[in-house]
Structure 1
Amino acid sequence: MDITQHLALTLKTLRQARGWSLSKLAEETGVSKAMLGQVERNESSPTVSTLWKIATGLNVPFSTFISPEADAAPVFDPQQQAMVVKPLFPWDDALKYDHFSITLAPGTLSESTPHESGVIEHVVAISGELEMQIDGVWRVIPPDSGLRFAGDKPHAYRNSSSQTVHFHSLIHYPR
């Protein structure tokens, strides 16, 4: 099963397990009913940003939508691959974390909806200067530097440079 098939099946399974209609799922995630239906039918691949919204609305880790067979495969943003998310470690249910390697193409802005209450995110810039907006304030994270913040508030990632930015994101979910 490829990653898009896994995503479609996982989304439908999670929605049905909650007894939600597509309308209820759209309300909880902020993603249109039409888009959600297309994803469930494997007719469309969501952007990374949309997939984050879906995971947050369902209150599940982002990596839930990545098949075990594809743990090392990157998730591309279909919008010209502006943001690429690659899992470094599979979801760890005992420790409750996701760990990703992320690249942002030049000029990319990715706004993240709040994760579930109590989520803590650790971001470490690997190469390039990552800009992050937290609590409405933009901060620059130079290479080999990091930032820890409450992921249950809106936040954004930006690359204003002409070079690709590479960073790691470790997301801890509450027990």
Structure 2
Amino acid sequence: MQRIRKRKGWTFDQMAERTGVSKGMLYRIEKGETHPTITTVWRIATGLNMSFSSLIKQEVEVVTVAEQKKTPDLEEDNGRCRLYLIFPFDPETHFEVYTMILRPGANYDSLPHPEGVREYITVKAGEFEITIHDKTYTLDEKKSIQFSGNVPHQYENRSNIETVLQVIMYYADEG
């Protein structure tokens, strides 16, 4: 994040104004003194008009075999919503891939993403409800959904078992 902020020539005040995240929080994130929530990372990414994973990515090899980490990259809703980055944003393909695990009772409200972002979600295990605008869809292991991510949307696991989602985020324009 520091590299991005400096490349743009922004101060913490300018970054805070653009992202809606306090300059104190931005400073602590840059220094590695805190772990931001999923919502905070989305706010920063949206404010910078960047992909979500470009803020948490690691270097990519020509061939990458990904194994889910034991510790999530980000958490929300008191740990009931956990996100594991699988493949970070790739400027050639314009997408990123991650696994989202929703424990029973998980509820995650996603901020609208920039124009041109599409979400592709496949349920790998369990079931969950996703509300896009005012319409709710119930999805299980036999269903997938895709939608424009520039609208408010909410993920909720009302079941008593863990739900595992494979999420692909497509960014029409990175920058």
Coarse TM-score class (shorter-chain normalised): 0.7 to 0.9
Instruction: Tell me which residue corresponds to 2:34.
Output: 44
Instruction: Give yes or no for contact 2:119–2:169 (8 Å, CA) kept in 1.
Output: yes
> CA offsets per residue over residues 82-136 of structure 1, 9 Å max, x none?
2222233342211100111110122121111121211111111111112111012
Are the aligned partners of 1:46 and 1:78 in contact in 2 as well (CA < 8 Å)?
Answer: no
Match of 1:92 among 79, 90, 93: 90
Matched, 1:67 2:67: no
Distance 2:20 2:156 in 1: 22
- Equivalent residues of 1:90, 1:98 under 8 A apart: yes
Uncovered stretches (5+) of structure 2, i.e. residues with no partner = 61-65
- Give 1:151-170 correspondences, 5 Å limit: 151-170=149-168
Q: Give the aligned residue type for 1:151.
A: G
**Residue-pair matches, total:** 164
Name the structure 2 match of 1:81: 79
**What's the CA shift for 1:148?**
0.8
Q: Which residue of 2 aligns with 1:4?
A: none
TM-score by length of 1: 0.84
Structure 2 CA distance for partners of 1:17 and 1:89, relative to 1, 3 Å: same
1:82-121 equivalence runs, <5 A: 82-121=80-119
Q: Is the 8 A contact 1:97 1:172 kept in 2?
A: yes
1:49 CA drift (Å): 2.1
Change (3 A) 1:112 1:79: closer
What is the one-letter code of the residue matched to 1:174? A
- Residue 50 of structure 2 aligns to a residue whose secondary structure is coil
In 1: Cα distance, 2:76 partner to 2:9 partner:
30
Q: Which residue of 2 aligns with 1:142?
A: 140
Q: Which has the larger share of helix?
A: 1
| Identity across the alignment (%) | 31
Which structure 1 residue ranges, 5 or more long, are not aligned? 1-10
Which secondary structure state, in structure 2, belongs to the residue aligned with residue 67 of structure 1? coil
Root-mean-square deviation (CA), in Å?
A: 2.0
| Residue identity in the other structure for 2:43 | K
Q: Aligned letter for 1:66?
A: K
Deviation at 1:68, TM superposition (A): 2.4
Give the match for residue 15 of structure 1.
5
